[in-house]
A and B are shown apart, each in its own frame.
Chain A
């Protein structure tokens, strides 16, 4: 892990979007933690009004964990750790919700084919929990048709 991450923030992006952020993350799992903190920091309460869009716990737990899972999946399964590829993150902060798009350069996959990791016969497996955790931590998860891009929605609150 060498190159620094650069978060691009544009305020007043228009059409219901208050702020839009974008970030390119190299395909190395070492970048997941720093990328998550960089984005989560933008949602931490700044002390005064207006009240934060997402509660501190939803930022600390739901947003951070879900984003970490989405990034890890994109890096490992989508871009297969290929250092020449990046994962693109785009965050739309709207008045009523936050939408996070995570897109990789991979061939995509069928999310419906991923088995439930809480089934008794799968409970002791090491992998396969990422997507399950992600779905339970945000309000909406929508994959692109190809499956190489996911949009996570966290409603205000």
Chain B
């Protein structure tokens, strides 16, 4: 399981994930407690997620909004995009094609 956590000049945290949802949740909550408000989760290297992973994203999205922050998703492959559409979660999240596009939208 590996994660990459990077912060751009304006303090937007970009999380690249290949690991599981619980670890992702912990990393993002730590960054949120550290004062970060804007997050991009980069799925470029993620093959598939299941409904528990979707649940983690929903929960993070709520927590970030409660702190006045913003979460964007990027780099979803065709399968992940389909999963978000099936569950109508594409209506809940801002989804960008690439992390660069997501960053530019902040």
Chain A residues engaging chain B, CB cutoff 8 angstroms: 29, 32, 57, 60-61, 64-65, 68-69, 72, 117-118, 123-127, 129-130, 132-133, 136
Counting from the closest, the 8 A-B pairs by CB-CB distance are A129-B51, A126-B55, A61-B79, A118-B88, A130-B51, A68-B50, A126-B59, A136-B86
What chain B residues lie within 8 Å of A129 (beta carbons)?
Answer: 51, 54-55, 87
B58 adjacent to chain A (CB < 8 Å): yes
CB contacts (< 8 Å) of A57 on chain B: these are: 78-79
Q: Does B2 contact A (CB under 8 A)?
A: no
Contact between A65 and B83, CB atoms less than 8 A apart:
yes
**Chain B residue total in the interface (Cβ 8 A):** 21
**Residue B48, interface by CB 8 Å:** yes
- B-side residues, CB < 8 A to A, are 48, 50-52, 54-56, 58-59, 61-62, 78-79, 82-83, 86-89, 91-92
Instruction: Report B-chain residues with C-beta under 8 Å of the C-beta of A117.
Output: 87
For A73, give the chain B residue with the smallest CB separation.
B51
Query: Given the complex of chains A and B, what is the CA–CA distance between A32 and B36 in angstroms?
Result: 33
B52 closest partner in A (C-beta)? A72
Q: How far is the CB of A62 from chain B (nearest CB, A)?
A: 9
Contacts of A61 in B (CB 8 A): 48, 79, 82
Instruction: Tell me the smallest distance from the CB of B61 to a CB of chain A, in Å.
Output: 8
Most-contacted residue by chain A among B50, B55, B59, B78 (CB, 10 A): B50
**Closest chain A residue to B56 by CB distance?**
A126
With a cutoff of 8 Å between Cβ atoms, the chain A residues found around residue B83 in the complex are 65, 133
